[in-house]
Copies of this chain bind each other. A is one copy, B any other.
C-alpha cells in the first residue's frame, strides 16, 4: 500500500502548487524543482543533505547575487557607452541595492514560498531580497545563463531600470508631471485600477488624464510603479508638445 501510494503521489499536490507558482514567477517551466525549493528554504528548518551538509538558500543567494551583478553589468555596459568603470560600478550598486532587491522580491510575492520555523512576520525586509537572489542562483543551476539573463531582463531591467532615475537626474516622473500641471494650472487625475489580465502576476493599470486628455496609460506590479511609468510617458509626451510650440 505504501509503495502504491508512493507511485500515485510521485507529484504530490503541494509539489504541483509549487511548480505552478514557480512557473508563474519565472515565466518558464522549472526542470529540477528541488533546486527551487532550496531557494526558499530558511536555515531555521535545519535541513541537511545525505552527506550531512546544511541545505538552505544562503549558498544559492551567494551564487545569484554574483550572476545578477554580471547581467546588470552587461546591460549597463551596453546602454551607457559614455560611462567609465567608476560610473558603471556606481550604477550597478544602485540597481542591486538591498532596498531595490527587497522591493523586487516583494513584488514577485516570494515570501509566501519561504519555508521557515521562524514566523514570517518576524523577518525583516531583507528576506525578500535574499530569496530573490537565491532564486536567480537556482535558475542559473537549473537552466543556465540564458534563462537567467531572460528572467533578469523581464523581471528587473525592463520594468525597473531607468538610467536617468539611477543617475539622480530624475527622482520621480510623477512629481515632475504634477509640478508642470500646477504651473500650467491644468487639472490632472491618476485613475488606478487592478488589471492583472492574462498576466500571471498581480498587475495595476493607470490612466493619467491632464486637462481633458488621457495622456498616458501604464501597467505594473504595484500602484506606485504604474503611476511612475505613466508619468514618465506623459512627461516625454509633454516635452515634445512644449518643444513643438
Known: A49-B81, A63-B73. 13 other contacts (CB 8 A): A53-B81, A53-B82, A58-B85, A62-B85, A62-B88, A62-B89, A63-B74, A63-B77, A67-B73, A69-B69, A77-B141, A144-B145, A145-B145
* A130, chain B: closest CB distance, angstroms: 10
Main secondary structure of the interface of A (DSSP, over half): helix
In the complex, A145→B88 CA distance in Å?
20
A58 touches B84 (CB 8 A): yes
A211 interface residue per 8 A CB criterion: no
Residues of chain B contacted by A196 (CB below 8 angstroms): none
Counting chain B CB atoms within 10 Å of each CB, the highest count among A53, A59, A74 belongs to: A59
A88 touches which of B49, B59, B74, B88 (Cβ 8 Å): B59
A61 at the A/B interface (Cβ < 8 Å)?
yes
Q: How far is the CA of A66 from the CA of B88 in the complex (A)?
A: 12
Indicate if A4 sits at the interface (CB-CB under 8 A). Answer: no
The CA-CA distance from A61 to B88 in the complex, in Å, is 11
Cβ–Cβ < 8 Å partners of A61 in chain B: 85
Our pick among B54, B83, B146 for the contact of A84 (Cβ within 8 Å) is: B54
Asked if A73 and B77 make an inter-chain contact with CB atoms under 8 angstroms apart, the answer reads no
Q: Is A70 an interface residue (CB 8 A)?
A: yes
User: A74 — nearest CB in chain B belongs to which residue?
Assistant: B63
Q: Across the interface, which residues of B come within 8 angstroms of A81, CB to CB?
A: 49, 51, 53
Tell me whether A62 and B73 are in contact in the complex, defined as CB-CB below 8 angstroms, given that A53-B82, A81-B51, A82-B51 are known contacts: yes
Interface flag for A140 (CB, 8 Å): yes
Q: How far is the CB of A138 from chain B (nearest CB, A)?
A: 11
Which residues 92-148 of A have a CB within 8 angstroms of B?
Answer: 137, 140-141, 144-146
Query: Which residues does chain B contribute within 8 Å of A53, judged by CB atoms?
Result: 81-82
- Among A63, A137, A141, A149, chain B packs the most CB atoms within 10 A around the CB of A63
* Cα–Cα distance between A53 and B79 once the two chains are bound (Å): 13
Assembled-state Cα–Cα distance A66/B67 (Å): 8
